[in-house]
Amino acid sequence: MANKLDRREPVTPPRPYAERPTPAPPRIAPWIIVAVLLAVTAYLGWRAFFYEEEGDPVGSAMLAFERQNTLTVFSSRFEVVAESEDTRGVLGVPILRSRQATIVPASVEYRLDLSGMERSDFDWQPEAQTLTVTLPQIRTSRPNIDEGAARTFTEGTWVTRDASADLARNNSQQAERRASAFAKNPEVLALARQAAKDAVRQNLTVPLQIAGYSDAVVNVRFEDEN
């Protein structure tokens, strides 16, 4: 039996396990990195130098008014005529009569008191980018009578010193009253109101543009207007 051939099939040794190669990490092209860096740099530059965040338009307008509590919008210069008479006598009998006429320049300023304006006086419409401002009534200053430039005409046979002083004082008081009345003339007030609207519109346009509203429209009205 020992001489019998071994008929068992030879055993083939197992093949070694072939490991799969580990894939290499993906590589990013250098031009992509450069493009991203350029985009970030451009955004930061735009944000720093060109971007303007829109602010509160009403707050910007109120801040502009707080810097000037009173706004002189119009000035009127004109001449007024004043006339006075003086009679002096002895024992109740008028003896001396005198008359004086004065033509004197006067000036009046028209002002807006902005210190009392509140947030409700500003109406902002964001869709139309329109700001409507309601103003208080215009105030007139006390007339400035330029007595140094006055022209005086006096009539009378004999005008005493006291009579001359009384005539000049009465004419000065009368000139101030007439100047105040002239300042409230409807035609002059209309000019002053229009000047006030133009001044406020110009004063608010720039703050709104700084706040980011370059196309904003400012409408101005007075509280007695519909």
Residues 143-157: tens digit of each pLDDT? 999 999 999 999 888
Q: Residue 156: give the domain boundaries.
A: 57-222
Least Cα distance to 109 among 147, 87, 148, 78 occurs for 78
Residues 6+ apart with CB under 8 A from 113: 69, 70, 136, 139
Residue 79 lies in a domain: yes
Q: What percent of the chain has pLDDT over 70?
A: 73
Residue 62 lies in a domain: yes
Measure the CA–CA gap between 83 and 188, rounded to whole angstroms.
Answer: 24
The pLDDT score that the predictor gives to residue 163 is 87
The pLDDT score that the predictor gives to residue 51 is 38
What integer is the mean pLDDT of 90-112? 87
State whether residue 78 is helix, strand or coil: strand
- 159-202: per-residue pLDDT in tens? 888 888 999 999 999 999 999 999 999 999 999 999 999 999 98
Confidence of residue 16 (pLDDT cuts 50, 70, 90): low
Residue 46 lies in a domain: no
Q: How many domains does the chain contain in total?
A: 1
Residue 8 lies in a domain: no
Confidence of residue 34 (pLDDT cuts 50, 70, 90): very low
The pLDDT score that the predictor gives to residue 207 is 78
Residue 149 lies in a domain: yes
- The one-letter amino acid code at 69 reads N
Least Cα distance to 82 among 181, 189, 185 occurs for 181
The pLDDT score that the predictor gives to residue 55 is 61
Residue 48 lies in a domain: no
| Torsional sign, CA 58, 60, 62, 65 | negative
E strand segments, 38-172: 70-90, 93-113, 122-125, 130-135, 139-140, 144-145, 151-156
Of the listed ranges 45-59, 105-119, 183-197, 208-222, the one predicted with least confidence? 45-59
Answer yes or no: is pLDDT of 142 > 50.
Answer: yes
Q: Count of CB atoms within 10 A of residue 156's CB?
A: 18
The pLDDT score that the predictor gives to residue 102 is 94
Compute the C-alpha angle 175/178/181, nearest 5°.
150
Residue 13 lies in a domain: no
Residue 34 lies in a domain: no
